[in-house]
Structure 1
Amino acid sequence: MSGKVEISRPRNIMDRLASGVVIGDGGYVFALEKRGYVRAGAWTPESTVKHPEAVRQLHREFLRSGSDVIQAFTFYASEDKLENRGNDAAQTIGVHEINKAACDLAKEVAAEGDALVLGGLSQTPTYLSGLGKEAVQQEFQKQIDVFVENDLDFILGEYFEHVEEAEWAVEVIKKCGKPVGITLCIGPEGDLHGIPAGECAVRLAKAGADMVGVNCHFGPTVSLETMRIMKAALEKASLSPYLIVQPLGYVTPDASRQGFIDLPEFPYALEPRVITRWEAQTFAREAYNMGIKFIGGCCGFEAYHIRAVAEELSKERGHPPPIGEEYGTWVDGLKLHTKPWVRARASRSYWDNLKPASGRPFCSSFSMCDSWGVTQGHKELMQHKEATTDVELQNTHK
C-alpha cells in the first residue's frame, strides 16, 4: 500500500486502547450498495464471495485513510438472517463460506498496514421471533466459530436494538476467549424495550463486555449525546469498560426513537444529510475529549470521513493517516490552488465557521418521521396485538 506508515504497535486491542486512541473503519453495506454490490433492504454480505474485489478495495480505502481496525464484512451474515431476507445465499453459497471469505479479505488488507481485524455479530431474526436465548446464541456461535478458526483479533457485537439480545451476544463471545466489544443502535431514549441508555451500558459492562457504546441509527451529535448518558451511568456504577462510538455519517437531529430508518429519505435519498469531512473532524475531537478510545463510523461513513478523523487525531496517534504521508494534509493541498480565494481557505478558522448550504431551494431542514412504531420482540408484538384487538372489540360494542 502506498504511503504505508512503518510503526510497531501491540497486536492486542486491549493494549492498543490502553496506550491511545483506536480508529475504526466506516460503513460497508451502504457504501457497497451504492457501488452495486449489496442489495438494499436485505443488506447481507454475500459479496464477500460473489465480488471479493469490491470488498477488498473498500477495506484498502479505509486502511489508507487511517483505520487501525479492519472489520470483516460479516454484518447480517447469520444463517437465519440470510434465509429471512429472501435470498438463497445461505443454501447456494453457505454461511460458513461467506464469513470465511470475509475473514480472508479483512486479514489480507489489514496485513498491508498495521491494522487489527475484528469479526462482527448483529441482531437476529431469531430473537425478534421469540425463539429464546439458546436458539439466538446458536446463531451467534456459528459465526464466532469462523472468527476463532481464522484467529481474528477480537469480536464486536453491533447493531443491537435490544440490550437483552446484546447481553446474550456478550455471554457467548466471552466463551471464545477473544476481547469483546458491544454496541447498541440506540439513541438517548434507550433501547426499543424502553430500557434507558445508561442502564443498557451498565448491563453490558456487567455481562463482561470490554468495550461498550453505540453504532448506527443516529448521526454523530445524537450518538455522542447517548454516549454521555452511558458514560455517566457507568461511572456511577464504578464500571470502566472502554467506550466505543461508531455513528452514522448522516445528520439526524429529526430522527425519532428508532433512528434514521424512520426518516422518509431512508435509504435512497440520504445524500443531502451526509456529514462533511469537517463535521467528521469535529466529531472525532468531541469523542476523544469525552474519553472515548475507539472512534469509527457506520452507515454513510466513507473513507474520506475516516481520513478526517485520523487527521484530527494525528497528534494523539503520533502519525498522520497513510494518505497524509503521501500527499500531506488538506491545508497543504489548498495552498497549491491557483485561485487566491481558495488558497485563503487553508485555515482551520474558515472551516470551523462555515455553514454549508444544501443548494436545494424550498427544501425543509427537517423531515417528518414515519410513525409505524418500533421493532419489538415477539412477546411485545403479541401483547400489542392483543391490546389492539381488545380496543377494537370495545369500539365495536360501542
Structure 2
Amino acid sequence: MAAKKGLLERLAVSPVIGDGGFVFALEKRGYVKAGPWTPEAAVEDPEAVRQLHREFLRAGSDVMQAFTFYASEDKLVNRGNHAGQKIGVEAINRAAAKLSKEVAAEGGALCLGGLSQCPSYLTGLGEQKVKEEFRKQVKVFVEEDLDFLLCEYFEHVEEMEWAIQVCKETNKAVAANMCIGPDGDMHGVSAAECAIRMARAGADVVGVNCHFDPFVSLETIKKMKAGLDAAGLSPYLMVQPLAYHTPDAGRQGFIDLPEFPFALEGRICTRWDMHRYAREAYEIGVRYIGGCCGFEPYHIRAVAEELSAERGCLPAGSEKHDMWGAGLKMHTKPWVRARANREYWEKCQPASGRPFCPSMSKPDNWEITAGHEDLKQHDTETTADEMKRVLEFKKQ
C-alpha cells in the first residue's frame, strides 16, 4: 500500500479542503457549553464528535481536525465532566486525537492537532509559561502521531510566534491562522506583518480563521499575500472563516456583534455563498480552504463541489445532491422546477423573513480586550469591577 501523502505533498498538487466549526456545531447539538467553549465532549460524548467527523469526511473534508480547541490546561482549570470530575488536557487531547485518526483512516484523510490562544498570555505570565501550556498539548499530538500541527485562533502575533516555535520543536508540518481581520492583530500589527512574522517563525502554511466571514477574511488574505510577496516569502495560504456574514463587525469580529453567540442564524451563509468563497479563495492563491464557527458539513460540501475539477473528484455527499439544484427538475411545482439551474441560485438574494430587523448591527465593543493593559490585570478584577464597567457602558 502506498504511503499516505502528507499535507505539504497534497498542497503542492491540489487544494486541500478543511473541515468546519466543531465548537459551534456541537454547542447547537448540546455537547459544548457556550462561554468556556472547551472540548470535554471528546471524553464525555465521543460518539457525537465521531459522527461530526464522519459528516465532514462525507462532505469532502481532506482533514479531520482533532477536537482540541481551547484545551490548554489554564483554560480547563475549572472545567469538569458530568460527574463534576476535572478533565485535563491530557485526557481531552488524547481522546480527540484518537477520534480524528479513526475517522481519517476511513477515507484517507489527514488528521491534525491544534493549539489556540491561552489565558496565560492574556494575563501576562510571560513566554516560558505560555510555551509550557503549548508543550503539554503538543506532547500528546506527537505521541499520537497526528499528521501535522495547527496554531489557530490567535489575536496577537507575539503569542502566535511562541506557538509556532513550540510546534517547530517537532518534525511535523505546521500551519498557523490568526483570528484577525484586515486591520491586523489586537496590538495593531498589520495583517501583512502578521503573515511575515508567522512565516519567519517557521510556519509552512499561514492564514486566518474565525472572527470574520469568508469575504472579509479573503480581504485579509490579500493583504497577507502582498506582504509575504514583498518579503520574498512563499508559505502556502490557508483560510477557515466563519459561516456568518460580518460586514458590520469591528476589529474583534463577530464576538462584538449583539447576536453573538446565540442569535447568529440570520447571518448564515448559504451553500451558494460557499461556492463563491471557494472560487475566490482559490483564484487568489489559497490552497487550504476550510471553515470555522457556523460551518456545517453542507457548507464544506459546497466548497468541495466548487473545486471538484481542481481536486479531480466529487465528495461522497454529492451522491444525494445535484449541484446547482438539478434535482429540482423533478419537483411537482413548475416555478420550483425553474430554479434547477446555476444562474438562478447565483442571482438569488435571500430574505431574512424578519420585517422589523435591521440589515446591520452596531457592534458592542466595550474595549475590554482592545487596550490590553487591563488584560494583564483581568484575572484579578472582581465581579464588582466588571459590573461597574457594564453599567457605565449602558449609561452611554
What is the TM-score normalised by the length of structure 1? 0.91
Q: Would you say how many aligned residue pairs link Structure 1 and Structure 2?
A: 377
**Which residue of the partner structure matches residue 87 of structure 1?**
79
> 147, 155, 176: which one pairs with 1:153?
147
How far apart, CA to CA, are the structure 1 residues paired with 2:339 and 2:322? 16
Where does 1:314-325 land on structure 2 (aligned, <5 Å)? 314-325=308-319
Taking the aligned partners of 2:328 and 2:376, their CA distance within structure 1 comes to: 59
Q: What is the rounded CA distance, in whole Å, between the counterparts of 2:38 and 2:31 in structure 1?
A: 10
Moved more, 17-26 or 325-334: 325-334
Distance 1:79 1:377 in 2: 25
Q: Distance in 2 between matches of 1:54 and 1:114?
A: 21
Task: Output aligned runs, 1:260-339, within 5 Å.
Answer: 260-325=254-319, 328-339=322-333
Whether 2:221 is the aligned partner of 1:247: answer no
Of 349, 352, 360, which residue of structure 2 is paired with 1:358?
352
Residue 32 (str. 1) matches residue 49 (str. 2): no
Distance 1:178 1:377, change over 3 A: farther
Tell me which of 103, 118, 121 is aligned to 1:124: 118
Question: Residue 74 of structure 1 contacts residue 99 of structure 1 at CA under 8 Å; is this kept in 2?
Answer: yes
- The Cα of 1:331 is off from its aligned counterpart by 3.5
| Identical positions, percent | 66
Q: Residue 198 of structure 2 corresponds to which residue in structure 1?
A: 204
The offset of 1:92, in angstroms, is 2.5
Give the whole-Å Cα distance in 2 for the aligned partners of 1:39 and 1:298. 17
Question: What is the SS of the residue equivalent to 1:62?
Answer: helix
- Offset at residue 333 of structure 1 (A): 2.0
Residues 115-167 of structure 1 show CA distances to partners (whole Å, capped at 9, x for unaligned) of: 10010000000000100101101100001000000100000000000000000
* 1:218 pairs with 2:212: yes
Of residues 49, 67, 70, the one that matches 2:64 is: 70
Secondary structure, aligned partner of 2:106: coil
| Secondary structure of 2:107 counterpart | coil
Q: Which is further off, 296-305 or 368-377?
A: 368-377
Match of residue 393 from structure 1: none
Give 1:377 deviation, angstroms.
Answer: 8.0
CA offsets, 1:75-133, max 9 Å, x none?
A: 011100111xx323596332211111001111111111111001000000000010010
- Alignment-mate amino acid for residue 202 of structure 1: I
Q: 1:51 aligns with which of 41, 45, 52?
A: 45
- Partner amino acid, structure 1, of 2:185: D
Judged with a 3 Å threshold, the aligned counterparts in structure 2 of structure 1 residues 217 and 327 are, in CA distance, closer, same or farther, namely closer
In the alignment, residue 154 of structure 2 is paired with which amino acid?
F
Give the Cα–Cα distance (whole angstroms) in 2 for the partners of residues 382 and 117 of structure 1. Answer: 35
Shift of 1:380: 6.0
Give the C-alpha shift of residue 344 in structure 1. Answer: 1.7
Local SS of the residue matching 1:323: helix
SS at match of 2:12: helix
Kindly tell me: are residues 237 and 354 of structure 1, through their superposed partners in 2, closer, same or farther at Cα, counting changes over 3 Å?
A: same
Q: CA deviation at 1:303?
A: 0.6
Please say if residues 192 and 374 of structure 1, whose CA atoms lie closer than 8 Å, have aligned partners that are also in contact.
no
Q: Which residue of 2 aligns with 1:392?
A: none
Tell me, what secondary structure is at the counterpart of 1:70?
A: strand
- SS at 2:26's partner residue? helix
CA deviation vs aligned residue, 1:328-379 (integer Å, no higher than 9, x gap): 4353422222222222211111111111111110210000111211525865
Output the aligned Cα RMSD.
2.0
User: Structure 2: any 5+ residue segments left out of the alignment?
Assistant: 379-396
Contact 1:11 1:153 in 2 (8 A): no
Aligned letter for 1:88?
G
CA distance in 2, matches of 1:233, 1:91: 47
Provide the secondary structure at the position in 2 that maps to 1:82. Answer: coil
Q: Which residue of 1 aligns with 2:189?
A: 195
Residue 106 of structure 1 is matched in structure 2 by: 100
Equivalent residue, structure 2, for 1:170: 164
Contact map agreement 1:10 1:16 (CA 8 A) in 2: no
Q: What TM-score results when the alignment is normalised by the length of structure 2?
A: 0.92
Aligned to 1:39, the other structure's residue is in SS state coil
Contact map agreement 1:9 1:16 (CA 8 A) in 2: no
- Runs of 5+ consecutive residues of structure 1 not aligned to the other structure: 1-6, 385-398
